[in-house]
Amino acid sequence: MDRRVFVKQFSLTVLGTALLPMGLSAKNKNLWGKKITPQILFDEGKLDVILPEEAFNPMGNWEQSWRIWMPFRGKPGEASGYLSVTRNVADHSGKVEYGVEQAISENKQWMHLTKVAIKARNNQYGTPLNWEAATEYIKAPGKGFKEDVGVYQSSNLTNEKEDICLNFTLLDTVQRMKMEGVKELNFTLFDELDKEKKNHSIRYKEDTTIQIGGKTVEVHCYEQIGEGMLPWMYYVDANGRLLLAINGMRVLIADVECKSKYQASYPEIGEVSIEKRAAQSGRKGEIRKDKRPNILFLSTDQQTWNTLSALGNKHLNTPNLDRLAGKGVTFSQCYSPNPVCSPTRASWITGLASSEHGVIKNGRSIISGLKTVGHSLRDAGYETVFAGKLHVGIPDSYGEKIPGFDKVLCMGIGGKGTLGDQAVSSVAVGYLQNRDRSKPFYLTVNFLQPHDICNWIKRHNKNHKDRHLDSVLNELPPLPENFNVILEEPLKMKVPRKREWTETDWRYYLWAYYRMVEEVDAEIGRVLQALEETGEADNTLVLFNSDHGEGSASHQSVTKNYLYDEACRVPMIVSYPKELRSGVIDHENLLSCLDIVPTVCDFAGAKLPENCSGISMRKLAAGKKRKLRDFVVSEVNNDNGRMVRSEDFKLIVYRNDSNHLFFDMKNDPGETINLARDSKYNQQVKEHFTMLEQWESKLRKASFCKPFNTKIS
């Protein structure tokens, strides 16, 4: 089931536990602490209403209204409103349309009014397909609307299962239970924010009588229980009409006059419409004058460069990244500026190298005084939005506030990509579906997977026995060709290895890692699908990158924080079909994660953060430029190491260590033969030290980062 979950911008519940933040200061002394029953309501005079008298068929078209009474809000008896529902069955389509209008007022000071249009299947559950809602706050009667409080929401649901109910249609469901002789229904409930609440049921409880509208009426009583909601009791008459519904915080009472009374008191009710609010919010095809593209930056954590089936990896399936690659340019020679989490994420935020922004290892914060890409784009008129993993300290940030970003939708769940990435994709989808379209957006969506491989590695120690291994033995991928090659490495080049693992353990590790890549591919697919459904995909630049790679058994290595390609080389995709090439894989050009910020600012027409080290990919991806740079540099290990990668060669060097690594990347892409001491390559080694010197000379380093020795030792 594909669910579209959207951002919570207002609190609205038709049949839930709360409409607005609950203030229980004014308690009804007669009712507080008691279970609300029909008899108590009768004794309080709440059932003195005008009941409808016309014939009623719950299976056909109808309109009904219920008075809402909330005994524990405001002054006793003065928190009230109405709920009006219409039901229309579409001819021959198997669909039913609902119109919902709900008003709540408190102490005659304001009213919260919501109107909803729903399309659903004409089945026992009223399974929702899509709905739209407009909501307004209205001042005291005749005083007009409060300013800047209107909200419009919409949701599209594709439900493969029939046993799904929506809060708005439960009243219809319980009425039809009576007429169809159904004693029990079990279902999943979607609330008004499209949030799934499982294990709900409505069960017939008993036949009884209630006193309402000056009559004693025989009714069928039904009880609803389930996750995330207080129990409800429903009282339905012999014709299937719902006369009364009660839960701990709210009462619905059938009353034909309740709607007209409120409409007479609040003339502004008639001015609220879904169409008007949708147009104001820009969600119904509003064309903004700003023609610059929206920008969506998708990132993963610890995804090495070749983990895309589009790049020929036959041991995993990444249909969504493949689809993005088919609409853009994929660069296979992109390098992390520092192959560990926090430093690269700080580079994505600032556009600077780690020795400049100061995050030279995990746990450090960006130095004071630096602007973020959020500042640049916000100043250029973009709405800047962040979702997912940050993992870097930023001065003046607190809670879920990031300098330069208008909104922080969520921060993910640290260390648990399987769980947290679902939340990240959900809030990103919600933002895309419900945002204000009056200006372009910069949305950065930062997933955690396949970082969970770190937890997997920790669990699979020497004595670990995995009960799932036998079931996937025939699916285990082969080990890389450079698996058995372990070189004499610089002392500070601490490469994590699992020497106690068997060959099967290593292959199982690769299998598990690829499954985690597939997990995050699915979440990326949800976001891309939502973008397409908004109709804005054609005018949205999409970038995809990862902060660093994963050892992937090369040199018998795992995880990151060293400069072999598997840990340092990452995927990069740039897609904007109306301007850039599509379906192109570039194996030649050298890129860096530092190129994200210049590219974003280029498309946005925004000013680059000061001293930005990267280069915009725009002309290269458009085919207007053949070469982006001659070499790329990565830093590593608390500012102790450097990598210089040119078109043909790669140098790895550490502070105060004469043991350098130098590889011929054209003929030895697996980095198996160290040529640093081969005299035939002295000139090439010298040239790469010169490249490093050029790079270092342009950096404005943080005060605690020392100059890096660029002389051959």
Residue 320 domain flag = yes
Q: In this structure, are 353 and 256 located in the same domain?
A: no
Last residue of a domain, one of 224, 257, 281: 281
Residue 484 domain flag = yes
Q: In this structure, are 453 and 529 located in the same domain?
A: yes
pLDDT at 486: 95
Q: Tell me the pLDDT band of 571, cut-offs 50, 70 and 90.
A: very high
Residue 125 domain flag = yes
Beta bridge partners of residue 215, listed in sequence order: 212
pLDDT at 462: 67
Q: Tell me the pLDDT band of 272, cut-offs 50, 70 and 90.
A: confident
Q: What is the DSSP string of 3-72?
A: -------S---SSSS-SS----SS--TTTTTSPP-HHHHHHTTTT------S---TTS-EEEEEEEE-TT
Q: Tell me the pLDDT band of 490, cut-offs 50, 70 and 90.
A: very high
Q: Tell me the pLDDT band of 414, cut-offs 50, 70 and 90.
A: low
Q: What is the mean pLDDT of residues 577-599?
A: 97
Q: What is the mean pLDDT of residues 120-149?
A: 78
Which strand (E) or helix (H) includes residue 386?
strand 383-388
pLDDT at 286: 44
Residue 402 domain flag = yes
Residue 648 domain flag = no
Q: Any idea what the Cα angle at residue 82 is, between residues 79 and 83, rounded to 5°? A: 130
pLDDT at 226: 80
Last residue of a domain, one of 259, 281, 303: 281
Tell me the pTM: 0.64
When comparing pLDDT for 2 and 692, which is higher? Answer: 692
Q: Does residue 3 have a pLDDT over 50?
A: no
Q: Tell me the pLDDT band of 358, cut-offs 50, 70 and 90.
A: very high
Q: What is the mean pLDDT of residues 192-212?
A: 83
Q: Does residue 22 have a pLDDT over 80?
A: no
Task: Report which listed range, 135-144, 383-392, 557-566, is most confident.
Answer: 557-566
Of 73-87, 149-163, 405-419, 477-491, minimum mean pLDDT range: 149-163
Q: In this structure, are 318 and 272 located in the same domain?
A: no
Q: Does residue 559 have a pLDDT over 50?
A: yes
Residue 675 domain flag = no
Q: In this structure, are 303 and 436 located in the same domain?
A: yes
Q: Does residue 464 have a pLDDT over 80?
A: no
Look at residue 447 and give its three-state secondary structure: coil
Q: pLDDT tens digits for 608-647?
A: 988 898 999 999 999 999 999 999 999 998 999 999 999 9
Q: In this structure, are 228 and 375 located in the same domain?
A: no
Neighbours of 460 (CB within 10 A): 19
Q: Tell me the pLDDT band of 9, cut-offs 50, 70 and 90.
A: very low
Q: In this structure, are 404 and 321 located in the same domain?
A: yes
Handedness of CA 131, 84, 111, 47 (dihedral sign): negative
Q: Any idea what the Cα angle at residue 302 is, between residues 457 and 334, rounded to 5°? A: 145
Q: What is the CATH number of the domain that holds 589?
A: 3.40.720.10
**Helix, strand, coil distribution of the chain in percent, nearest 5:** 25, 25, 50
Q: In this structure, are 201 and 316 located in the same domain?
A: no
Look at residue 627 and give its three-state secondary structure: coil
User: Are the C-beta atoms of residues 317 and 554 closer than 8 Å to each other?
Assistant: no
- Cα-based distances in Å from 390 to 306, 345, 394, 530: 24, 7, 10, 23
User: Alpha-carbon distance 234 to 216, whole Å?
Assistant: 16
Q: Tell me the pLDDT band of 120, cut-offs 50, 70 and 90.
A: confident
Q: What is the mean pLDDT of residues 444-456?
A: 95
When comparing pLDDT for 705 and 261, which is higher? Answer: 705
Of 53-62, 84-93, 328-337, minimum mean pLDDT range: 84-93
Q: Does residue 570 have a pLDDT over 80?
A: yes
The encoded tokens of residue 160 equal 């493969």
Q: In this structure, are 263 and 326 located in the same domain?
A: no
Last residue of a domain, one of 281, 308, 338: 281
Q: What is the mean pLDDT of residues 288-308?
A: 91
Over pLDDT 90: what percentage of the chain?
A: 56
Range of the domain at 231: 38-281
Residue 643 domain flag = no
The encoded tokens of residue 664 equal 């011929």
Average pLDDT along the chain:
86
Q: In this structure, are 236 and 314 located in the same domain?
A: no
Residue 214 domain flag = yes
Task: Report which listed range, 165-174, 264-273, 408-417, 550-559, is most confident.
Answer: 550-559
Q: What is the count of structural domains for the chain?
A: 2
Q: In this structure, are 253 and 107 located in the same domain?
A: yes
Q: In this structure, are 190 and 85 located in the same domain?
A: yes
Q: In this structure, are 277 and 310 located in the same domain?
A: no
